[in-house]
Amino acid sequence: MTVPSSTPFGSAGSAARHIAVVRHGETDWNLAGRIQGRTEIPLNDTGRAQAAETATALARAAGSLGPWAGLFASPLSRASETAEIIGRGLALPGPRIDEELWERDFGAAEGVCVPEAHERWPGLEIPDAESIDALAARTAGAFSRILAEAPGSIVVAHGAMIRAGLGRLTSTPMPRITNGEVWILSRSQGPNDSVPQHAAIRLDALGVLSAEEPRDPNMETAV
């Protein structure tokens, strides 16, 4: 589904009212199905290729959304390198590192394969980890701040935090966020709205705002 220009996602030539939220490219731990959290794991070659493909999709999307203004990234190298590759593809300066964009601290679950982690800690409620509620609040705050202060930016971060933050802002359960995936987050506020209304929609590989396609239900509990 293509979103018409009358939606809060804006259009070419209009002031940006959105940001692009991107999950970093693949790492070897992603490939192995291990929870990374704040463990420093670099991109692999597939992840670097995904970042370049994401830059192409964002370049195409600029025709309808307007030009991209800049880049923000998590301090973890898999996110900052993804942002650097995207920046080169879009002729943007290097990313600003934002300390609020860390992935969730998964505590003892870091390095554990996802099925085992779910078996040991149902719902991934891990005693020594950042709570899911705290993760959602932190991420929603970071996305809201960037959307208010630097609209039109590209924000490169992590799967669990993106899913939690977008879910909190839109009050909608989000699917698993895959490597290199892009979501466009917008905000609008009508005269009768006491708080801003947020919406998020996926950007496909062709740079088109798309309805969510079916996902493998067996993967929905992955991080």
Report how far residue 20's alpha carbon sits from residue 152's, in angstroms, rounded to the nearest whole number.
Answer: 7
Check if 119 is active-site: no
Which tokens is 71 given? 């880049």
Which residues 6+ apart lie within 8 Å of 192 measured at CB?
none
| Residue from 18, 24, 158, 198 carrying the catalytic annotation | 24
Q: Degrees (nearest 5) of the Cα angle 206, 83, 2?
A: 25
Count CB neighbours of 118 within 10 A: 17
Check if 103 is active-site: yes
| Residue from 26, 81, 103, 130 carrying the catalytic annotation | 103
Cα-based distances in Å from 105 to 76, 79, 85, 129, 139: 12, 15, 25, 5, 13
Active site residues: 24, 103
